[in-house]
Amino acid sequence: MDAAPYDAIVEKLLSQTKNGKILWSAASHIERRDAVGLIYKTEVEHQDIVLYEYRYKTFDELEQPDWANEVAVEFVDLRNALELRFPPTDSRWALLREVRRKVSGVDAFAEKFLSSDDDDE
């Protein structure tokens, strides 16, 4: 199993998310253990894809537990059960940031909010 196809897939997901060809939505009905924040879902080429941040426990050399964060990109079936989790790819965090930005609507909010008159007092 070569990691290269995963990199290319996530890279393309990122570019098509940026230009609006792929739309993501928050999937509050999907549950994942140790997920951080919202879980996002989209459909590309009849394949459901789920994206989210999660945390996992690590242990240092003194066996002290700590937490680290990762991004999961998963193929899921119609019932959102895991089919395949991608190994970490170079663009995974960029994709998550972009999806969060799009889904949160921060751009529209900023456009509206920053252009409105300051009516304090």
Residues in contact with another protein by CB under 8 A are 1-3, 54, 56-63, 68, 70, 72, 85-88
The smaller minimum CB distance to another protein, of residues 40 and 86, is found at: 86
Six-digit token string for 118: 């300051």
The smaller minimum CB distance to another protein, of residues 72 and 76, is found at: 72
Give the shortest CB-49-to-another protein separation in angstroms: 15
Integer CA distances (angstroms), 119 to 31, 109, 113, 115, in order: 42, 17, 12, 12
Give the shortest CB-92-to-another protein separation in angstroms: 11
Residue that the structure tokens 């426990």 belong to: 57
Crossing angle between the packed helical segments 92-104 and 4-18, to the nearest 10 degrees: 20
The smaller minimum CB distance to another protein, of residues 60 and 121, is found at: 60
The smaller minimum CB distance to another protein, of residues 64 and 115, is found at: 64
Give the shortest CB-68-to-another protein separation in angstroms: 8
Give the shortest CB-11-to-another protein separation in angstroms: 17
Largest CA-CA distance found in the chain, in angstroms, rounded: 63
Q: How many other C-beta atoms can be found within 10 angstroms of the C-beta atom of residue 51? A: 24
